[in-house]
Amino acid sequence: MKKTIRVNHLARVEGHGGVTVELDGRSIGAVRFDIFEGARLLESLARGRSYLDVSQIVSRICAICSVAHSLTSIKATEKAFGVKPTPQTELLRDLLFRGEDIESHALHVFCLAVPDYLNYPSVLALAADMPEAARLGLRLKKLGNTIQEVIGGRAVHPVNCVVGGFGKLPSNEQLVALRDELKWAAEASEKVVELVASLPPAEFGSKDTVFAALIPGGDFGYGYYAGDQIGVMINGKLEKVPAEQYRSVANERPVPHSHAKHSSYQGRPFMVGALARLTINGGLLNGTVAGVKEKFGLKLPSGNPMDNNKAQALELVYDIRRSLEVVEQILAEGLRDEAPVPVKPKAGSGTGVTEAPRGMLVHSYSYDDQGRLLTADVITPTAFNAASVEDHLRCAVEANSADSDEVLTRKLEMIVRAYDPCISCSVHLVRKRNAP
């Protein structure tokens, strides 16, 4: 008997997407992660604009990842012009990324994932029975936003980041208040560990998975901003690719059912995000999260996409503790009163690769000698992940074919949510690439 299982509009994800599975008796036909978010053509709209305007325009690709889009844009522009930001700027940007990661992971873990594991439709419903857990999640989420406000000027679409540095540096008072809240959070993060460790196991189908992530550079340890190499973990081996050669990792091709292109490395889909980062860069974590992985029962490498939720929780705990170290270091040493380094536009191109909360993000630009944008290419984490999501969905359909439609549908939704997709992000990348 032929039938189709469909999730028309995925809930508790950002943007407009769905899932379609076609079954014919026991054989599985198409398995699709459908993306039907409208197209805004932002890359095309940014073309011709001054470098001064670009990061503000492309930031609007996505609200939850707006720090990542702004700073990846700025990183690409600085590379194109040969601008080298100061170590202090790099440190503050690293901290700003951690703020976004804390906000996004707290939102995802507490508002989207934990309710899934415990069978609640939302964090508000969860709050009725577990008010402390809901309040903890919201306060941590707020802390992430506070970091973004203190460093980036605003929680959504940061305004303080410019090519070469920052418009204004945070005040001592702001940093002291932030440190105090981080101290609370560092203690409270024990409760995050307890909560996540107590969640019922979730495995709906695992398979040997390829992972890709930025390899962190600079002296920031396990981070999301600095670095110019992409690591791909395939068949138990780590391959390194320079950032400028990102296209050899992406190998994008258009697919008819989705407004996002699909990526593959050596013919295989790959996963980006917290689980990929931990798999590739876990050795860089410092001792502040010792033992957490074991408490979560997280064994790497893992081919179970549900483990991305645990990986995010571990990063959440790590980022809180690392941010506290960074803010204490800044307060001890004091901030130098630095203006942005001077920028002299020149013709050229540059590629910035970073880690947005939900995975690797690429911005690649070329400029004319007046500093006007000639071409822009943006590949977002959800686009990198689209093919891998379908792979894991297919695997789950195979492993759970005896389930009722309702149970199977719920499992498929949980897998998509575990990827923490950002559908607005993924869409603008339906585009024809212009030859440089």
Contact 429, 380 (CB under 8 A): yes
Report, in Å, the least distance between residue 172 CB and other proteins.
17
> For the stretch 64-76, what's the b/e string if a residue is b when 16 or more beta carbons lie within 10 angstroms of its beta carbon?
bbbbbbbbbbbbb
Report, in Å, the least distance between residue 340 CB and other proteins.
9
Q: Report the residue number, 151 or 215, with the smaller CB distance to other proteins.
A: 151
Report, in Å, the least distance between residue 428 CB and other proteins.
9
Evaluate the CA torsion angle 139, 140, 141, 142 in order and state its sign. positive
Tokens of 400: 């759970």
* Phi/psi of residue 121, nearest 5 degrees: -75, -15
Q: Binding residue for other proteins (CB under 8 A) from 1, 25, 27, 168?
A: 168
Residue 154 lies near other proteins (rule: CB under 8 A): yes
How many whole angstroms separate alpha carbon 412 and alpha carbon 436? 40
How many whole angstroms separate alpha carbon 263 and alpha carbon 337? 43
- Name the one range near other proteins by CB under 8 A: 71-79, 151-159, 190-198, 274-282: 151-159
Q: Binding residue for other proteins (CB under 8 A) from 23, 64, 289, 343?
A: 64
How many whole angstroms separate alpha carbon 397 and alpha carbon 248? 31
Q: Binding residue for other proteins (CB under 8 A) from 5, 28, 45, 399?
A: 45
How many whole angstroms separate alpha carbon 425 and alpha carbon 356? 11
DSSP string, 181-244: HHHHHHHHHHHHHHHHHTSPP--S-----EEEEEE--TT-SS-SSS--EEEEEETTEEEEEEGG
Residue 348 lies near other proteins (rule: CB under 8 A): no
Contact 182, 327 (CB under 8 A): yes
Q: Report the residue number, 60 or 394, with the smaller CB distance to other proteins.
A: 60
Report, in Å, the least distance between residue 118 CB and other proteins.
13
Interface mask (CB under 8 A) for other proteins, residues 184-223, using x and -?
----------------------------------------
How many whole angstroms separate alpha carbon 227 and alpha carbon 97? 13
Q: Binding residue for other proteins (CB under 8 A) from 4, 122, 198, 251?
A: 122
Q: Report the residue number, 61 or 383, with the smaller CB distance to other proteins.
A: 61
Tokens of 304: 């179970």
Residue 372 lies near other proteins (rule: CB under 8 A): no
Residue 310 lies near other proteins (rule: CB under 8 A): no
Report, in Å, the least distance between residue 96 CB and other proteins.
14
Residue 253 lies near other proteins (rule: CB under 8 A): no
Q: Report the residue number, 132 or 398, with the smaller CB distance to other proteins.
A: 132
Report, in Å, the least distance between residue 124 CB and other proteins.
5
- Name the one range near other proteins by CB under 8 A: 45-53, 80-88, 204-212, 283-291: 45-53
Q: Report the residue number, 59 or 302, with the smaller CB distance to other proteins.
A: 59
Residue 12 lies near other proteins (rule: CB under 8 A): yes
Distance of CA 310 to the CA centre of its chain: 14
